Structure 1
Amino acid sequence: MRPRREGPCMRFDRRSGVLLHPTALPGPHGIGDLGAGARSFLEFLDRGDQSVWQVCPLGPTVDVHGHSPYQTYSGFAGNPLLVDLRALADRGYLTDDEVDPSGAPDPGFSPHETNYDAVEAFTTDRLRTAFDRFRESAGDDEREAFAAYREAEDDWLVDYALFRALKREFDGDPWTEWPAPVRTRDRDALAEYREKLADEIDFRAFCQWTFDRQWTDLRAAAADRGVEILGDLPIYVALDSADVWAAPEAFDLTDDGRPAAVAGVPPNPGDDGQRWGNPVYDWAHLAETGYSWWLDRLERLFSLVDYARLDHFKGFDEFWAIPADSDDPVDGEWREGPGRDFFETVREAFGELPFVAEDLGFLDAESAALREAFDVPGMRVPHYADWCQQGHLYQPMHYPEDCVAYTSTHDTDTAVGYYESLGDRQRECLHYNLGTDGVEIEWDLIEAVWNSEATLAVTTMQDLLGLDSHARFNTPGTAEGNWRWRVTEAGLDDDAAERLARLTDATVR
């Protein structure tokens, strides 16, 4: 039986924080990691008097999806590309030369953006070297700690490590294309491959152990500075994931293990809808099991973060299911989600619900009632405001207390980029409403959000630095050039932190 999680819901005393995914941290190896750059960011938050660090999902990303943190090989595992290689050198598993990026042939590393191909090759090679050294030279304490970790995380780690080993064995093919006995999890076939791929399975477990203990250390360092982690929980998981392969009964699949329906959103005025391609859940089966798969997922999540944003909250009320053989979102239909029964089950297992509901664009009465029934705040972003309409719900001066307010998000343009894209009339109305000339629009929007009634105010590193669209983190509906932007050590400057601290002291505390 799961221990009941005690703690507050998201209606805490007013607080503020910064959204910055770990891949965007400073670091020497072409990507942000859990090492010195992360500590520098915690120092920045401390100087800025911030108490929340918001991150995107932490799972192992997939190259065919542009390394989006919302399309991962697992909803339980961590991303090995975030491992701090210098910490492995400190443990004696790598040499100083091996963690020196200048020693790699054309590593393609930049302090300003992530080249995932270069990072993946460099980091994975060194993780394999570190694992070999661990097996050769680790002391008894280290070996016992690794064994204890594997036992503690057995519920998800066994299947995940085998899944990644099989992916390598079958040249990266999606599991839906694997030989039938493995695809359908024939017991004898899996036993055979567990023996054949034992070294690779051990390596994948080692990567997760390394990620977990580095993340645990980082989270403790954050807590020492009074900073809590707001994580992110995508409602759906990727089809080509250990999640779907290991628990097909949780999803709406055909007899041969392929999706019967996939997720998306219906057409709206001005767009054609979206077909995301993720398998939808078999909520009836999940309800029969007491939502055990979801409770396991949440238990793992709350071992990593303090709170979580629920992506696509609408899907818990009702979801758009598109036949898998159709490429047109218009062919979908609304199906009933798990609703109150699901959240009552979660509350019984974990106590108060430490969630934020991503309800942007889905402010219908049913979803709002579900959110409000469990004291889950929604989201507000000024990018969606009609500045010329009096009292518009996305204007910061009209934000309610039960929301989390953002200057921008990982899916929107930066504050400066948004402002530059406005038409003349909207820009003039914005000037009037905020009492500004727009010269420092990023700080105008930060101040407006910080002055709102929202229970939590969040900005991004890009907005604190006044960066334009070139620093946008993700453009939904595009496959190239996303999730690459990084802040440099110089970008974590005292001026922005001190200005944010003064604003926070005047408005939030």
Structure 2
Amino acid sequence: MSQKRRSGILLHPSSLAGPQAIGTLGQEAYDFIDFLVAAGQSVWQILPLGPPGYGHCPYSTDSAFAGNPQLISFEKLVAAGDLSAAELPESPEASDAVDFVVVERQLPLLKSAYRHFIENAEQKRHRAYDQFCSEQAYWLNDYAIFAAMQQSQQTGWQHWPKAVRKRQEKGLHQWGTKLQGEISWHKYLQFVFFEQWFALKDYANLQGVVILGDLPIFVAENSVDVWANRSLFHLDEKDRPTLVAGVPPDYFSKTGQRWGNPLYNWERMATDNFAWWRARFHWNLQLFDLIRVDHFRGFVACWAIPAQEKTAINGSWLATPGERLFALLKDELEELPIIAEDLGIITPDVENLRDQFALPGMKILQFAFDSGPKNPYLPHNHRANSVVYTGTHDNNTSLGWWRVLDAKGKAQVREYLKRPCRDMPWPLIDCALASVADLAIIPMQDLLGLDGKARMNHPGTVQGNWLWRLLPAQLSREISVQLQHVTHLYGRSLCIPAET
């Protein structure tokens, strides 16, 4: 990123307005990039791209490498020759929420696309598919078997027949033969997902827009990553986790948080110089120009909870060799285009690791006004090598936050910003863009002035999240012009006009 001061928008592709029941990598994504450019923005931040887990959560996926087939554009499949226009479903009525029921109901259309591909695709495209399968075999083969087995068994991998659960050669061969068609279909889904993704990323980069992706530190227990790499996790002889992730008790929760992700066996990972992690970072840096690493403090120490515990109270800190891992990555990559999610319990050793590798941290303005002038999230305490947000996907929208803020908090905000704040959230947006932080990111909901109903996620809950979606007319020229003006005012424009 040659330009130092930049800004961008946080919006997951699922939230785009388009012809399917969910936002996709189709024309709506290209139109959004055009909107970014018109508004002077040069960064598009998204959430994790993997197949979502329970509750449609993108942070709990069944693969750290695979893409989410729900985001595949049917219209792009027509353009590729894998579907006929007559097969396209009717577009649903415009809605401000993803309809996951319809999304699941339309999955058979991807089976039809696969049949078209097998029977009718040109040799050039078949060669591209074969090349993809060959280049990505290190994760794709295991993922395709895992996904096919999930469908076949309708249960988590710990309940599969022992021969395949334990990855015995005979069992893998037997089930691989039995499920050959489904396995090939899942490989095809990954092929077309990444075909569409890389075409979109190329378009963004040509317009001067970089993609900021998201890498969750932990993986789900019911994932191909754990099944295919059991020795890399703390598991017992029944393949159940012995240690799980979470955070300790604090002011907000007397029992802490028990996330339940199996913890990595870092000692075992170190024996091959963290090959799994290095492969994961290398792949993500093909997918994205920048990566936000979620729960960065976990690369210094994790809160390890004995799996039998129902809460996080009896956990303990388990040191992790993040410094060794990042040193290896630095040697391989020279630069580390990584943003450290350094929120929550941040100790000096976490700050030291972040600063040792010159990684920018995060500043959340919604956190800035609940204490005195030393609050690290207040703009006068920001530093250039950081990323400032009004809020994130885990926060209320800024208007929703403002509406539930008590009178004392509102008075502090008004005094600091020297504005009456009747037009919230724009005072907070201006504050973010004015910050000395090199990068400012604004959630799309804040630019639209939406209230808490448009919130993307309520941490600690599993229902009713990850649903919010743009309406077709909301990306207006008025918002584009307003955003471009303040972006230029604070020296962050994608193309800064020459001074006169």
Cα distance, 1:256 vs structure 2: 2.2
Cα distance, 1:252 vs structure 2: 1.1
Match of residue 4 from structure 1: none
The correspondence for 1:36, drawn from 10, 27, 32, is 27
The correspondence for 1:88, drawn from 70, 77, 88, is 77
Match of residue 58 from structure 1: 49
Partners of 1:37 and 1:489 within 8 A in 2: no
Cα distance, 1:111 vs structure 2: 2.9
Counterpart Cα distance in 1 of 2:256 and 2:487: 39
SS of residue in 2 equivalent to 1:229: strand
The correspondence for 2:61, drawn from 72, 75, 79, is 72
Cα distance, 1:397 vs structure 2: 3.3
Partner letter of residue 155 of structure 1? Answer: Y
The correspondence for 2:36, drawn from 42, 45, 48, is 45
Counterpart Cα distance in 1 of 2:333 and 2:226: 24
**Aligned residues: CA RMSD:** 1.3
Match of residue 264 from structure 1: 246
Partners of 1:310 and 1:356 within 8 A in 2: yes
Partners of 1:259 and 1:279 within 8 A in 2: yes
Counterpart Cα distance in 2 of 1:276 and 1:318: 15
Counterpart Cα distance in 2 of 1:449 and 1:362: 23
Partner letter of residue 365 of structure 1? Answer: P
Does residue 326 of structure 2 align to residue 343 of structure 1? yes
Does residue 126 of structure 2 align to residue 111 of structure 1? no
Q: For 1:77-476, what aligned pairs fall within 5 Å after superposition?
A: 77-101=66-90, 110-122=94-106, 124-171=107-154, 173-271=155-253, 272-387=255-370, 389-476=372-459
Deviations 1:4-25 (A, max 9, x none): xxxx7xx961111000001001
Partners of 1:380 and 1:394 within 8 A in 2: yes
Cα distance, 1:489 vs structure 2: 2.5
Cα distance, 1:87 vs structure 2: 1.1
Change (3 A) 1:390 1:164: same
Counterpart Cα distance in 1 of 2:65 and 2:93: 28
Q: Which runs of 5+ in 1 are unaligned?
A: 1-7, 103-107
Cα distance, 1:164 vs structure 2: 0.3
SS of residue in 2 equivalent to 1:201: helix
Partners of 2:94 and 2:472 within 8 A in 1: no
Cα distance, 1:110 vs structure 2: 4.6
Partners of 2:18 and 2:24 within 8 A in 1: yes
Cα distance, 1:388 vs structure 2: 5.3
Deviations 1:23-60 (A, max 9, x none): 00111111000011101110110111111000000001
Partner letter of residue 16 of structure 2? Answer: L
Structure 1 length normalisation: TM-score? 0.94
Counterpart Cα distance in 2 of 1:399 and 1:387: 16
Cα distance, 1:160 vs structure 2: 0.2
Cα distance, 1:386 vs structure 2: 2.8
Match of residue 105 from structure 1: none
Change (3 A) 1:55 1:268: same
Partners of 1:388 and 1:430 within 8 A in 2: no
Cα distance, 1:362 vs structure 2: 2.5
Counterpart Cα distance in 1 of 2:207 and 2:391: 25
Does residue 2 of structure 2 align to residue 18 of structure 1? no
SS of residue in 1 equivalent to 2:56: coil
Counterpart Cα distance in 2 of 1:324 and 1:259: 6
Cα distance, 1:183 vs structure 2: 0.9
Change (3 A) 1:279 1:110: farther
Counterpart Cα distance in 2 of 1:120 and 1:399: 44
Structure 2 length normalisation: TM-score? 0.96
Counterpart Cα distance in 2 of 1:270 and 1:169: 42
Counterpart Cα distance in 1 of 2:20 and 2:342: 36
Partner letter of residue 38 of structure 1? Answer: A
SS of residue in 2 equivalent to 1:501: helix
Partner letter of residue 221 of structure 1? Answer: Y
Partner letter of residue 44 of structure 2? Answer: W
Counterpart Cα distance in 2 of 1:363 and 1:354: 21
Counterpart Cα distance in 2 of 1:339 and 1:158: 28
Partners of 1:387 and 1:430 within 8 A in 2: no
Partner letter of residue 390 of structure 1? Answer: P
Match of residue 498 from structure 2: none
SS of residue in 2 equivalent to 1:97: helix
SS of residue in 2 equivalent to 1:308: strand
Partners of 1:397 and 1:448 within 8 A in 2: no
Cα distance, 1:222 vs structure 2: 0.4
Partners of 1:46 and 1:225 within 8 A in 2: yes
SS of residue in 1 equivalent to 2:8: strand
Cα distance, 1:176 vs structure 2: 1.2
Counterpart Cα distance in 1 of 2:415 and 2:381: 15
Counterpart Cα distance in 1 of 2:376 and 2:62: 37
Cα distance, 1:269 vs structure 2: 2.0
Aligned residues: 491
Change (3 A) 1:250 1:118: same
Match of residue 479 from structure 1: 462
Q: Percent identity?
A: 39
Counterpart Cα distance in 1 of 2:175 and 2:119: 24
Counterpart Cα distance in 2 of 1:435 and 1:489: 35
Of the structure 1 ranges 229-238 and 346-355, higher mean CA displacement relative to structure 2 is found in: 346-355
Cα distance, 1:71 vs structure 2: 0.5
Cα distance, 1:244 vs structure 2: 0.6
Partners of 1:436 and 1:444 within 8 A in 2: yes
Partners of 1:34 and 1:82 within 8 A in 2: yes
SS of residue in 2 equivalent to 1:400: coil
Partner letter of residue 442 of structure 2? Answer: T
